[in-house]
Each structure stands twice: as C-alpha cells, then as structure tokens.
Structure 1
Amino acid sequence: MDKLTPGLTPEQQRDFEAAAFRRLVGHLRERTDVQNIDLMNLAGFCRNCLSNWYREAAEAEGVALSKDESREIVYGMPYAEWQALHQTETSPEKQAAFEANRPKDH
C-alpha cells in the first residue's frame, strides 16, 4: 500500500490504514472459532502472518520486536494461551489443503 490514495494526505492514509488494521485484529480476536488454518486455506494469510508483518514493519523502522511480542499484539494474549484456549485439532483434509496451497514462506 505504498501508493497514496487520491484526495488523502499521507497522514490520513496512514491513520485510516491503522484503523482498518486495528478493526481487523479486533475482529480476529473475537472470532476465535475461525482457526488459522481456515484463514490460510481461504485467504492465504493468518494471525501469525499479521504478527510477522507487524514485526517486520517495526524492524524496518529500527524497533526490535520478538516473535512472541508481535504475536501477543495480534492475539491479545500470549500465543500459547490462545492456543490452549482456542486452537482445535486440524482435520486431515484441512491439513492437506494447507500443504497443497501453502505459501513458500510458511
């Protein structure tokens, strides 16, 4: 999203993108019934991807974030806690679909 949206200042675009990101993260925190593998199979990204992108953006600006810290930002709790509370077993069909469509960086 490096291209400026016509009619918006760079600050407005940044603020609107940040608001959309916060809303997406909030939505994913509420929808604990949607598993990461479901997101990956349908959209090609998941909560972990978002946390990695967040960490990469921070690092690009010289801010060091650990994988655990960036995941906690996205999940709203430590990742291990989210897994214990919400992660379910994956069916062989979902796992096969993931392996067939898995992006190379996962």
Structure 2
Amino acid sequence: MDENGNGSSGAGSKSNYTDKEIDYLISCEKRVKKPPRKKMRNVQGSLRNEMTVESVEGGRLFRIFMRQNIDFNESFSIGLVFCQVTVARRYGLYALMAFMCMQNS
C-alpha cells in the first residue's frame, strides 16, 4: 500500500487490498475532517448523513455514511468508505454503537 492507501495494483477495486490492509484501514486512528450535518436528510424513505475523516498517520481520507429507515428505526447502518471501496459496514445495534462512539470522540 502506498502513502495514499492504494494497493500495489491501483485503487478502486476491492481485489487490490489484502485482508491485512483492510483491517488496517478499518482500525487506524482517524480524526474528523468534515463533521456530519446536525440533522439527517430524508432521501427515499431513509434518513441519511455522512462525514469525512482522515487517518492521523498518512492523511488517508475516508467517508463515513449513516443510514436509518424511516419506517423501521431499528434498520440502521453505518459504513466506512476508502477510495470508493466500502471497507466496513455494520447494521443494527452494532452500527448504532459505532455511530455513538464517533459522536463522543
């Protein structure tokens, strides 16, 4: 992986990243670069929000997205995107806990 987090054969394809690289992308320390909006947007039956974070080491940029179904509040997900590849997505209670941890940091 180069200084931008790109795999040796280029960015943008999940096959370019090893499990070890994906684990690193998920677990590396990040800081908020662009915080989420205060209120989630209503888009086609789901509430949506996103934020941009940057890795402390290496300055890699990530997008974090949050989704919640309007009719079924328990249907909540949060995802971590790097180079247009979703490296992690959590649903339900685990997603909610991850989101709350991000809000408190």
Please tell me the TM-score bracket, short chain as reference: 0.3 to 0.5
Which protein, 1 or 2, shows the higher relative CO under an 8 Å CA cutoff with sep ≥ 6? 1
Say which structure is richer in strand. 2
TM-score, structure 1 normalization: 0.32
Task: Return the index of the structure with the highest Cα Rg.
Answer: 1
Say which structure is richer in helix. 1
